[in-house]
Amino acid sequence: MKKIKGPAIFLAQFIGNEAPFNSFRGLCKWASGLGYKAIQVPTSNPAIFDLEKAAESQQYCDEVTGIAAESGLTISELSTHLQGQLIAVHPAYDEMFDNFAADHVKGNPAARTQWATEQLMFAAKASKRLGLTTHATFSGSFLWHTFYPWPQRPQGLVEQGFNELAKRWLPILDCFDEHGVDVCYELHPGEDLHDGVTFERFLAATNNHPRVNILYDPSHFVLQQLDYLAFIDIYHSRIKAFHVKDAEFIANGRSGVYGGFQNWQDRPGRFRSLGDGQVDFKQIFSKLTQYGFDGWAVLEWECCLKHPEDGAREGAEFINAHLINPTDKAFDDFASGATNTERNNRILGL
C-alpha cells in the first residue's frame, strides 16, 4: 500500500513583512523548525517566488529547491489559486477580484483573463522544472451568482457556463498535460467547481481531460453540509492533492449555511485550526490510505480564532499523528494455508 507524505504546509497565509516571513529562505527555516517536510508555494508574490522566472530558468528553479533543501524541505506543489480565480470572473465581482491581478491589467477584464492564462502556463512549465507532478488552483466562476435558483435559471444557462469555462481551461490543461502535471482544483464556494456535481459537469465539458483532478479540502464540505467521507469513496481516483484544514458547523436559530453576511467568528460555519473543529481526520487519513493516495498532507491554516503561528506549530504535530504506515501483511495471515484446488472444491461442495 502507498503512504501519504507529510507534514507539509501551505505558505500563503504566513507571508508577511517581518522576518522570517518576508523571504523564501526565512519561511523555509521557520517551517522546517516546526517539523514540516514540504512546502506548498504560492506564486502571486515574486519577492517570495518568481513564477515567470521559474518558468524560464532551470537555474532559478535549482536555486529555489536548493534553498528548501538546506532546511530539509521539498516543494509539494505550486499554487495559482489567485490567478486561477481570474480565468473566469463574472462582472459582478470585477472590482473585488481585480486585487488578485497585476497592476497593468486591472480594470481590463479581457487583459486580466489573458494574463491569468499566461500565469497558469508559466506554472505548468515551472512545475516541470521543479520536478513536480501536481498543481493547486481554483477554477474561477461564471455561475456562482446563480447558485440559488431564484430567480429561476434559464434553460441551458448552466451548460453554457460550463462550456465556456472548459473552453478557457482546455488550452491550459493541454499545457499541463504536455509538461506531465495534474491540475488539482480546490472545490470551494465561490467557484463554479465547488462540489462533486460541479466537478463532474466540468470534467464532462472538458471531455474527461486526464489532467482535471481534485485538491481535497474537507473544510469546504463541512460548510456546505456535504458528506466529505463519502466524497472520497466516489472521487478518490481524481484526488491528487490534499489540504488538511479543519472546520465546524454549529447550527443556530439565526443563520445557516449562507452565514447572514456575518464575519467569520459569528457564522455557524467557520474554519478552525486542526483538532479544534469537527472534521473526522482519522477516517479521512484512513480512507485516503486505503485508496492509495500518496500525495502530501498539506496544512492550510485559516482559523478565525487561533493565532497562525500556534496553528502552524500544532498542525505539524497533528498531521504527523494521523499519518498511517500501511501494513504489508494481513492480520490473519497466520491462519492461512497454501492454495489447494481440490480442497477448495470440497469446501464449495463441488
Mean pLDDT of all residues in 199-215: 98
**Structural domains present in the chain:** 5-348 (3.20.20.150)
Count of other CB atoms within 10 angstroms of residue 12: 20
Looking at every residue in the chain, the average pLDDT score rounds to 97
pLDDT of residue 331: 75
The type of residue at 243 is H
pTM, two decimals, is 0.96
pLDDT of residue 188: 98
Q: How large a percentage of the chain has pLDDT more than 90?
A: 95
The type of residue at 277 is G
Phi, then psi, of 176 in degrees rounded to 5? -65, -40
Q: How large a percentage of the chain has pLDDT more than 70?
A: 100
Mention every residue, 6+ apart, whose C-beta is less than 8 A from residue 1.
289, 290, 292, 326, 327, 328
| Residue 332 pLDDT > 80 | no
Joined grid coordinates for residue 177 = 498535460
CB 127 within 8 A of CB 94: no
Report pLDDT digits (tens) over 145-169: 999 999 999 999 999 999 999 999 9
pLDDT of residue 239: 98
Report pLDDT digits (tens) over 79-128: 999 999 999 999 999 999 999 999 999 999 999 999 999 999 999 999 99
pLDDT of residue 300: 98
> What whole-number distance in Å separates Cα of residue 287 and Cα of residue 289?
5
pLDDT of residue 333: 73
pLDDT of residue 185: 99
Helix (H, G, I), strand (E, B) or coil at 36: coil
| Residue 330 pLDDT > 90 | no
> What whole-number distance in Å separates Cα of residue 291 and Cα of residue 285?
10
CB 120 within 8 A of CB 171: no
How many alpha carbons fall within 13 Å on the CB side of residue 51? 21
Distances (CA, A) of 284 to 136, 185, 305, 340: 19, 19, 24, 39
| Residue 197 pLDDT > 90 | yes
- Name the nearest CA neighbour of 232 among 248, 245, 218: 218
Joined grid coordinates for residue 76 = 509539494
pLDDT of residue 119: 98
Helix axes 58-70, 24-33, angle to 10 degrees: 30
> What whole-number distance in Å separates Cα of residue 318 and Cα of residue 300?
12
Report pLDDT digits (tens) over 226-259: 999 999 999 999 999 999 999 999 999 999 999 9
pLDDT of residue 60: 98
Report pLDDT digits (tens) over 121-149: 999 999 999 999 999 999 999 999 999 99
| Residue 337 pLDDT > 80 | no
Mean pLDDT of all residues in 208-224: 98
- Name the nearest CA neighbour of 216 among 231, 197, 201, 230: 231
> What whole-number distance in Å separates Cα of residue 200 and Cα of residue 228?
16
Helix (H, G, I), strand (E, B) or coil at 42: strand
